[in-house]
Amino acid sequence: MSNPDALKQRGQAVLQAEAQAVSALAARLDDRFVTACRLMLACRGRVVVTGMGKSGHIAGKIAATLASTGTPAFFVHPAEAGHGDMGMITPDDVVLALSYSGETDELLAILHLIRHRRIPLIAMSGHVNSTLVQQADVFLDAAVAEEACPLGLAPTSSTTAMLALGDALAVALLDVRGFSREDFAFSHPAGSLGRRLLLRVADVMHQGKEIPRVDQTAWVKTAILEMTQKKLGMTAVVDETDRVLGIFTDGDLRRLLERSTDVHATPIGVAMTADCTTVTADQLAADTVGIMQAKKINALLVVDQDKRLIGALNMHDLFKAGVM
């Protein structure tokens, strides 16, 4: 059976080796990085990221990160590029080619086509004197002292360094472009991040006849019936113009019952919580979660600029919408 201590020590050694590789990378980042960023910023087309094997997997991730953070990009497999996919690359593009050795046959096979079309080429490699680097307009140094693999063969520290360098490019470009949280959300509309950054209160609130509401002259019994029918655990209390005067919740009801209050003879104005917390329809739905947690409440009323009732929501609505 494997020695648990030996397994843990090997894992720690790998993490330390890869951390050192990234740290060394940061220490020697220079003006070539700036030049690469400027080439990408000036690009009128797309950043085409390419690489074979493990470098290809990293290239795909870098392309995805660039695309989702404001720099249009896609991955092209270098072997497929030699069989028709070169047609995907235009003179308006910039090519970012990954090869630790800088001698990957499939990449070298399309270098003359890239150079012939005068497409800017950024090489990310660990060998400054390699063929790829010598043909490139810009060289990004991804060299590592050693691989984390004890055999020194499997790409580990080197791919980690390339991945980190790709992230550095993407984030630097994001910063220069002024890429915002809203921009990020539009790049991720289907995921939880998109829902948190795009969904507004108006998208999740109950409206019209679904809103629990009673007049300020109603009895508590009427409010209880309204709460039971609308199933939101509360009801708004409004005046004749639908302006919110307060809220009556399950908690308010429990406190009344603890005092043996006659719900048939108690005006709602006495039992409600006045000056209750409200939100507007254009607020982010995700922000209402923080409001509810801070106030220790489970439901909110939605009002317009004149404090008139236009909607209602509770924690369950936010959970169902995927905001929580």
Q: Is residue 105 part of a domain?
A: yes
CATH code of the domain covering residue 129: 3.40.50.10490
Q: Is residue 164 part of a domain?
A: yes
Asked if residue 214 and residue 164 are part of one domain, the reply reads no
Q: Return mean pLDDT, the chain.
A: 91
Which amino acid, residue 54? Answer: K
Q: Which of 129, 147, 179 is the last residue of a domain?
A: 179
Rounded to 5°, the CA angle 66-132-152 comes to 85
Spatial separation of the C-alpha atoms in residues 58 and 288, rounded to whole Å: 38
Asked if residue 269 and residue 158 are part of one domain, the reply reads no
Spatial separation of the C-alpha atoms in residues 110 and 113, rounded to whole Å: 5
Asked if residue 272 and residue 144 are part of one domain, the reply reads no
Show the domain range for 301: 201-320
Asked if residue 173 and residue 208 are part of one domain, the reply reads no
- pTM more than 0.75: no
66-77: average pLDDT: 94
Q: Is residue 237 part of a domain?
A: yes
Point out which residues pair with 138 in neighbouring strands.
Answer: 122
Q: Is residue 192 part of a domain?
A: no
- The tens digit of pLDDT for each residue in 102-124 reads 999 999 999 989 988 999 999 99
Q: Is residue 225 part of a domain?
A: yes
Asked if residue 118 and residue 36 are part of one domain, the reply reads yes
Position 173 pLDDT exceeds 90 = yes
Contact 187, 193 (CB under 8 A): no
Q: What is the DSSP string of 69-95?
A: TT--EEEE-HHHHTTTGGGG--TT-EE
Asked if residue 67 and residue 173 are part of one domain, the reply reads yes
CB atoms within 10 A of CB 170: 24
Domain count, the chain: 2
Q: In Å, what is the CA distance from 22 to each residue of 16, 32, 66, 99, 143?
A: 10, 17, 19, 17, 10
Q: Encoding tokens for residue 136?
A: 């490139």
CATH code of the domain covering residue 278: 3.10.580.10
